[in-house]
Amino acid sequence: MKNILYATDCSKHDTQTLQYALMLSDILKANLTVLHIFSLPPISVKTIRPKKYLSEHAYDEQLLVLKDYCSSNLKDNKTDVVIKYEVREDDSVTNGILSETAALSPDLLIIGMKDEHTARGSFTGSIAKALIEKVAAPLFMVPSTKSFQKIKTLVYATDFEEADFLAIKKLISIAKPFDAIIKVVHITNNDEYAVSDKMEWFKEMLFEKTSYRNMTFDVSINDNTYEGLRVYIDTVNADMIALLEREQNSFLKKLFHKDLIKKMESKITIPMLSLNASAL
């Protein structure tokens, strides 16, 4: 992992996520780009200066705001991380983040999980959901009150698909520097023998594709996929949850789709990684 992009609204409620992004970048030995999306206020008919001038002036002003914000909130965090600063004008926070992600092609995009304080509605449900559906980079959502701590246990929810192998390889790039255990789990509403066979097949196939062995494989029985995953996370004391965002998936086949990820994003209190299958 070489480059991490972190999008911030520069609010006081986002400072812990900023610090989290820095410390994670340090552990993963990645460069960090901090991004702030801004929009121009409505232009009065009395304004004689052209919009281009106002835009350039606002860019310079917002860049200073971003640098000051990072400087004041990272002064106690000493690392060797190379930090770059980017500001982008866009009336849509979502589109601004997507545009910057497309331009930079980061290995990881970090945002703070929604709370009632976040300014402009940025990183609230609608923005997080749009990013989950559209962003090409792995999306790492961190609760705004979450301080950085060593990642020991990561949970990956599988439905035994080919894309899961690529997703877990991405997850290993985060787990390996921490020597963290990856707990692969499949949530099902029955305990048929065939499910255990599938998990054993999945394990064998995965171990053929990666040398990382600090992994366990479980089948958890619950009629409700979300509830089963939540209980499992609590049971294993997970530090992070990863889900694959699938473009197309039969409801009867399984419930691991964007609705579940969006529901997890609004309820889970640990960092969550959303991996878009189309971008793996």
What digits encode the pLDDT tens for the residues 84-113? 999 999 999 999 999 999 999 999 999 988
The rounded percent of the chain whose pLDDT value lies above 90 is 57
User: Tens of pLDDT along 66-89?
Assistant: 999 999 999 988 899 999 999 999
Please report, to the nearest 10 degrees, the dihedral formed by the alpha carbons of residues 21, 84, 167, 268 taken in order.
30
pTM of the model as a whole = 0.87
Domains of the chain and any CATH numbers: 3-142 (3.40.50.620), 153-279 (3.40.50.620)
* Angle formed at CA 273 by CA 133 and CA 239, multiple of 5 degrees: 155
Average pLDDT over residues 198-209: 96
User: Tens of pLDDT along 29-51?
Assistant: 999 999 999 987 765 545 555 55
The CA-atom distances, in angstroms, between 221 and each of 11, 191, 195, 228 are 41, 7, 10, 7
Question: Looking at residue 190, what is its pLDDT?
Answer: 79
Q: How confident is the model at residue 276 (pLDDT cuts 50, 70, 90)?
A: confident
Question: Looking at residue 236, what is its pLDDT?
Answer: 97
Three-state DSSP class for 244? strand
Q: How confident is the model at residue 248 (pLDDT cuts 50, 70, 90)?
A: low
Question: Looking at residue 263, what is its pLDDT?
Answer: 59
Gap between the Cα atoms of 96 and 7, Å rounded = 10
